[in-house]
Amino acid sequence: MGVVTHAKPVHEGLCLMLRDRYAPVQLFDLVPALKLRFEPELAELDRLLEDEQLFQQVKADLARRRPHTLQTGRPSTPVEVILRLLVVQHLYQWSYEQVERFVNDSLVLRQFCRLGLEPVPHDTTLLRWANLIQAETLHRLLDRVTELAHSLKVTRGRKLRIDSTVVETTIHHPSDSSLLADGVRVLSRLVRRAGDVLARGSEALFRDRTRSAKRLMRRIHASAAVVGRGAATAAAERVNLYRRLLEVTRASLRQAEAVQQLLKAGAGDTVQRVRAQVEHIVPLVQQVCAQARRRVLEGEAIPAADKLVSLFEPHTAVIRRGKLSTPTEFGAKLLLDEVDGGLVSRSAILAGNPPDAPQLPVSLDHHQVQFGHPPHVAAADRAFSTTDNEHYAAQAGVPCVAIPKPGKCSAQRRAWEQRPAFRRAARFRAGIEGRISVLKRAFGLRRCRYHGQAGMERWVGLGILAHNLRQISRSVVAQRAA
């Protein structure tokens, strides 16, 4: 077991908290009889992660954990280990608990993660460190990995294809009744917790209305399932049930607001933490009550952009893209740029459900900065088709722009789109559908497992980073074998 070496402590008698690396240990040399070694792709991935720029960008984020993280404190899990553990997690779609267990049991993964004979960090420790990585850092890491791919001739930046998809958030299918019941449940739990910290839990103010809300929600769901001759009666009953459920929710809101006033007079970290949770959830439940009243009682159609579909993931957007298999999706819209070599060169999580077309100039500008020249071919689907986009791409110096025009086309336009160069570019564009499928199936981009907007950015960023690293490793191994 090696001792970590680092710079001279800032304060005499104290050691640095944030460690860079463990002292190197060659586990394979300790057990020569097993003849252990990295498989070629993992060996190349190991070399890619030795890049100093990747290391320093992650370290800059982890250094912000505490005001004096770089100066004093208990020695941490090294930055290098954290980066590699996160790559392994998204490479194999493991949970934090699985990362801890599987890496601990594998000499090969221990060597890859540079743990040596040190203990694998606890899953909650890894989670806390991972939460410090910012979205901007992940975009810079992606740019750096693309630079490494360019230097290794995995990509030359000659072709660019663009498309968008949806990454679902981890929520149940939303309905007004289930959201109201969720609101009562969460408010009751917080009110009960406030009663515990204030030592006043026996008063009527701290009543739990969860059972009443769940009972009404089930009856609403049962009435919605009625078809045929009893459907009209069930619909009338459903409105009355919604009125009662709204009354229960408003009563829970009044409780929470009264408890909130009591918490303001309290002191201590626990009291302030409960107070912050109450202040966060109350406006969301009020919004759920307002939209249920407008939709059910007043018969108003609420725009998708104004809907709240989850109390726990309030950033979730309602997205309709005209897909027959999934007419309505709940999550975040993700735009992807892919270059030749199968690498994702840029990703952007868009707020709400905006049109795709305004993203094309941004993608071309980013490509110019990344590679120093415009792509020879830029391809996208009809959602990106505008006259301004075609003019912008031509002015940017793109020789072949393949964006089919929607609707009925003139004879001149049809002839233009039948040219061999356009058709080859259109076939190239279709490949990004397969790339999106790989990202969803093999790298977890079908559904985000992290919470909040920052969690969505981190989940997508780490998944794409792991995909690109694996793609580069495979390409380099194939080049050497050829």
pLDDT for position 16: 64
> Which residues, other chains included, contact 252 with Cβ-Cβ below 8 Å and sequence gap of 6+?
183, 184, 187, 188, 191, 209, 213, 285
**pTM for this predicted structure:** 0.91
> Which residues, other chains included, contact 353 with Cβ-Cβ below 8 Å and sequence gap of 6+?
304, 305, 317, 318, 319, 320, 333
pLDDT for position 417: 93
Residues of the chain with pLDDT under 50: 1-14
For 207-224, how does the pLDDT look when each residue is reduced to its tens digit (9 = 90+)?
889 999 999 999 999 998
pLDDT for position 24: 87
Class of domain 137-171+316-481: alpha beta
Task: Tell me the CA distances in angstroms from 190 to 106, 257, 357, 451, one per residue in order.
Answer: 42, 11, 44, 19
pLDDT for position 239: 93
pLDDT for position 200: 67
- Sort 50 into a burial class: Cβ within 10 Å, 0-12 / 13-18 / 19+: exposed
For the chain, the structural domain boundaries read: 27-132, 137-171+316-481, 176-306
Distance, in Å, from the CA atom of 331 to the CA atom of 447, rounded to the nearest integer, reads: 8
Dihedral angle over CA of 173, 176, 180, 182, nearest 10? 0
> Which residues, other chains included, contact 155 with Cβ-Cβ below 8 Å and sequence gap of 6+?
146, 149, 339, 340, 341, 343
pLDDT for position 201: 58
One-letter amino acid of 158: R
pLDDT for position 202: 55
Distance, in Å, from the CA atom of 478 to the CA atom of 72, rounded to the nearest integer, reads: 46
For 40-69, how does the pLDDT look when each residue is reduced to its tens digit (9 = 90+)?
999 999 999 999 999 999 999 999 988 888
